[in-house]
Amino acid sequence: MNANQFDMTLTALRQILPMTQPADAVMSRFFREHPKLGAQDRHVIAETVFGILRRRMMLEAVVDKPTARGLLLGYLVKVQGLPAKAVASFAPEAELKMATHAKAVKADTLPIAVQAEFPDWLYEKLRQFMDDEAILALGRGFQQPAPLDVRVNTLRMSREAVMQALIASGLPCEPTPYSPLGLRLQGKPAVNKHALFNEGAVEVQDEGSQLLGLLLSPRRGEMVVDFCAGAGGKTLLLGALMQSSGRVYALDVSEKRLNNLKPRLKRSGLSNVHPQLIAHENDTKIKRLAGKIDRVLVDAPCSGLGTLRRNPDLRFRQSAQSVAELTQKQASILAAAASLVKQGGRLVYATCSILPEENQQIVEAFLAAHPDFKLVSVGELLTQQKIALEMGDYLQLYPQVHGTDGFFAAVLTREVGLAAEAVETAEAVD
Ligand SMILES: C[S@@+](CC[C@H](N)C(=O)[O-])C[C@H]1O[C@@H](n2cnc3c(N)ncnc32)[C@H](O)[C@@H]1O
């Protein structure tokens, strides 16, 4: 890191630390406001800022003054392992002493919550279903930067062909371990500037997200709803799995996110996707779809605590209260989305959270109130799809185990009820 990168990192960090806005949004704005920074500068600044956010609790515990400057110096010596004299050009002697002191503190003497980087509210929640060893392993998983995964749009090119083309253009990559559609790149190249991206042959998507779409397994010609489509990461996967046939309704309450879907849709070449802005989950606009949809995906708004590798600030921006509010919304969205599923149809409820209250507990409460829905074993579905991932009833992915973000998914099916059979028999008699 040179002196200019040090100063710029400090400026960016000072804007981010109040945590009033998402760190990635502040970082993007910072780069827009400093257009003269080169690609390498931006890389160093972003990696350092996010590295600090991933270890913020430990750094606050070991530096004398947990200011932006204190955290940055602490990070350089303690996490990056630079000798204190290597940061001498940025820091006067007093600060250097502090940095040397920070380096000497043994991290494994700190409280487990600090070592794992979980604030008290989150640590207390995790302790309800995990022991300290597991909490520490999870915390360490979230302290690693996430790899860059892309999903291949097999309507455009095969995974093998994309892999060869990326390698030939100097972007080493390999197939993702579980998703048959994914490639994992080395480092963080600007893949969104690559021709294959502009041609719609690849989209950036974590392998875990790809697996969620694969669990819905939409078929050609079906009617599908992506209830919380956002900017359409999973919508595009569903549309491609359906070979651009049938219909995928991409619903969301955010016009901005749906607008972000449009250029992606154009690149993808899909013609079966229909974005639809809704005001809320019970919007009358979607009543006409009730009971008619073959497969519904609910990628619910959630705490995002499974994405702490990418969004390390979320642990400070979420709280027990915000999670409680989200669970109300999740239950309401799941019930509304379920009403669209036709008999014999499939419903997938997914989050990028690791908390049972946003996951299993939402599904269990839903099943108790909707006896016409039954749980389908994710483990069996994965086996049928020849995806070598051992799971039980639910999909539960963790960075320290699977190398993906933390994800949860439950697959439900709406049973063909007696009443419906009776109607069918009556129609047959007619
Ligand atoms: C986890 S994100 C979806 C990400 C997206 N599926 C993807 O793969 O890129 C959750 C989305 O739910 C949307 N949302 C929030 N409340 C909603 C509601 N009541 N009905 C539908 N969507 C909602 C949010 O705007 C957000 O885009």
What's the gap in Å between 70 CA and the centre of ligand 1?
37
Q: What DSSP character marks residue 77?
A: I
Q: How far apart are CA 250 and CA 257, in angstroms?
A: 11
What's the gap in Å between 96 CA and the centre of ligand 1?
46
Question: Exposed, middle or buried: residue 120 (CB in 10 Å: 0-12, 13-18, 19+)?
Answer: exposed
Q: How far apart are CA 26 and CA 13, in angstroms?
A: 9
Closest ligand 1 atom to residue 212 Cα is 8
For residue 116, the Cα-to-chain-centroid distance in whole angstroms is 20
In this predicted structure, what is the pLDDT of residue 422?
41
Q: How far apart are the first and last CA of the chain?
A: 80
Look over the chain and give the mean of its residue pLDDT values, rounded to a whole number: 93
Does the C-beta of 228 come closer than 6 Å to ligand 1?
A: yes
Hey, whose CA ends up nearest to atom 6 of ligand 1?
229
What's the gap in Å between 326 CA and the centre of ligand 1?
12
Does the C-beta of 249 come closer than 6 Å to ligand 1?
A: no
Split at pLDDT 50, 70, 90, the class of 428 is: very low
Does the C-beta of 277 come closer than 6 Å to ligand 1?
A: no
Does the C-beta of 299 come closer than 6 Å to ligand 1?
A: yes
Closest ligand 1 atom to residue 302 Cα is 1
What's the gap in Å between 301 CA and the centre of ligand 1?
5
Of 40-54, 84-98, 278-292, 326-340, minimum mean pLDDT range: 84-98
Q: Is 299 annotated as a binding residue?
A: yes
Split at pLDDT 50, 70, 90, the class of 400 is: very high
Q: What percent of the chain has pLDDT over 70?
A: 97
410: three-class secondary structure by DSSP: strand
Does the C-beta of 301 come closer than 6 Å to ligand 1?
A: yes
Hey, whose CA ends up nearest to atom 13 of ligand 1?
228
**Per annotation, catalytic residue among 173, 228, 302, 352:** 352
Q: Is 252 annotated as a binding residue?
A: yes
What's the gap in Å between 149 CA and the centre of ligand 1?
21
Closest ligand 1 atom to residue 257 Cα is 27
Does the C-beta of 281 come closer than 6 Å to ligand 1?
A: yes
Closest ligand 1 atom to residue 231 Cα is 9
What's the gap in Å between 86 CA and the centre of ligand 1?
46
Q: Which domains does the chain have, with CATH numbers?
A: 3-110 (no CATH), 148-204 (3.30.70.1170), 207-421 (3.40.50.150)
H helix intervals, 128-254: 132-143, 159-168, 195-198, 207-216, 233-241
Closest ligand 1 atom to residue 333 Cα is 19
Q: Which residue has the higher pLDDT, 115 or 190?
A: 115
pLDDT tens for each residue of 300-311 = 999 999 999 999
**Catalytic residue at 173?**
no
Contact 66, 60 (CB under 8 A): yes
In this predicted structure, what is the pLDDT of residue 173?
97
| Cα Rg of the chain, angstroms | 24
Does the C-beta of 227 come closer than 6 Å to ligand 1?
A: yes
pLDDT tens for each residue of 349-383 = 999 999 999 999 999 999 999 999 999 999 999 99
Q: What DSSP character marks residue 54?
A: H
Of 46-50, 131-135, 337-341, 417-421, minimum mean pLDDT range: 417-421
Contact 352, 405 (CB under 8 A): yes
One-character DSSP codes across 121-154: HHHHHHHTT--HHHHHHHHHHHHSPPPEEEEE-T
The mean pLDDT value for 114-129 works out to 97
What's the gap in Å between 215 CA and the centre of ligand 1?
18
Q: Among 252, 273, 278, 359, which is best to mutate for testing ligand 1, by the most ligand atoms less than 8 A from CB?
A: 252
Does the C-beta of 331 come closer than 6 Å to ligand 1?
A: no
